[in-house]
Chain A
């Protein structure tokens, strides 16, 4: 094991959620594409951790939570719900967002952001020009809309990398009878 692998094992969200560690077949296969592993985690860190002017980490984690709830992706939904809880978001808000009961939300700007998120996850063709203009009308700037679109699209990617690796790991840990 190299130092780089040790570092990634500690900080990589998908390795952590899948309980992948050096020596496991799925870990070894995944890390053969080291640039993909790095860019995936760096994207998550930028989209869900780093500051984005005008979009709080909490609002962005709520977007990720709704995206995972609608996909659905149980493991990543739980991950983002846990991060929101740690930031002090109430169980009621988590429940409302995770069940897509957006009418319960008081913040009209956040509500518009989550309506957009739901459309882009469940039926991307419906996230159209009108949906973008509705975001503009609710006060988002173009750079904020860029970050939001990248976030929803990234989570769509992340849940599928997770799902594929999860199946690959099941295959290697259990095998399948012919």
Chain B
């Protein structure tokens, strides 16, 4: 990272994460568990998070299939904007760990960190362009009040230049972080680098 950001308890520093309950011992894992860990994430076998979720390997397999298809599939909404929306959702839900990871990914893809500083400071006013502002507003609304989302919110995204495929990717990105944030928040806690 070119610049360390620390705003309102959120950061772009690399954090670790520790599970509160027992994780799967990799030396005792089944062949199925190992295969699913390997297809979930390149470093899953060293990660408390994935080793905990490996207690239910088939459920982890489908979660990872959804997650990876949403975040990494080609086409549709640019990946930097998917990362921005997930940083917003993580900021709203209070998931410091997820926010740090996706702040870094945004910066790697967008080659700038101004939007992340704004999101950490106040997500409700964040965004360096009308398009970013609308992506962020929609991310907040779908996170906080899913039943209040309506056709006029889609119109606002269209007016800001998003097409249907991009809007679908935005919906999926926001939704998958309702899922990811809850696992990260309820199964363990971030570990900060020692000062």
Contacts and interface: CB of A to CB of B under 8 A. Distances in A.
A127 B182 contact: yes
A149 B146 contact: no
A176 B152 contact: yes
Contacts of B149: 163-164, 166-167
A168 B59 CA distance: 28
29 contacts: A29-B164, A29-B168, A30-B168, A33-B70, A36-B66, A39-B65, A39-B66, A43-B62, A120-B182, A124-B95, A124-B181, A124-B186, A125-B185, A127-B186, A129-B20, A131-B186, A136-B21, A146-B53, A147-B59, A150-B63, A156-B178, A160-B175, A164-B142, A164-B146, A164-B149, A164-B172, A167-B149, A167-B150, A176-B152
Interface in B165-188: 165, 167-172, 174-176, 178-183, 185-187
Given A30-B168, A157-B176, A176 B155 contact: yes
A167 B153 contact: yes
A43 B73 contact: no
B147 interface: yes
B123 to A, nearest CB: 16
A156 B70 contact: no
Given A71-B147, A153-B183, A142 B21 contact: yes
Given A33-B69, A145-B21, A156-B179, A43 B146 contact: no
A165 interface: yes
B55 interface: yes
Smallest CB-CB A-B distances: 4 pairs: A164-B171, A163-B146, A160-B175, A39-B66
Interface of B is mostly: helix
B52 interface: yes
B114 interface: no
Contacts of B143: 160
B125 interface: no
B154 to A, nearest CB: 4
A33 B71 CA distance: 11
A74 B56 CA distance: 29
A159 interface: yes
Interface in B1-40: 20-22
Nearest to A131: B186
B178 A128 contact: no
A39 B69 contact: yes
Nearest to A165: B171
A25 interface: yes
Interface range, A side: 35 or more
B142 A163 contact: yes
A132 B21 contact: yes
Nearest to A74: B147
Contacts of A127: 182, 185-186
B186 A35 contact: no
B152 A168 contact: no
Contacts of B63: 39, 43, 150, 154
Contacts of A32: 165, 168
Nearest to B169: A33
B115 to A, nearest CB: 22
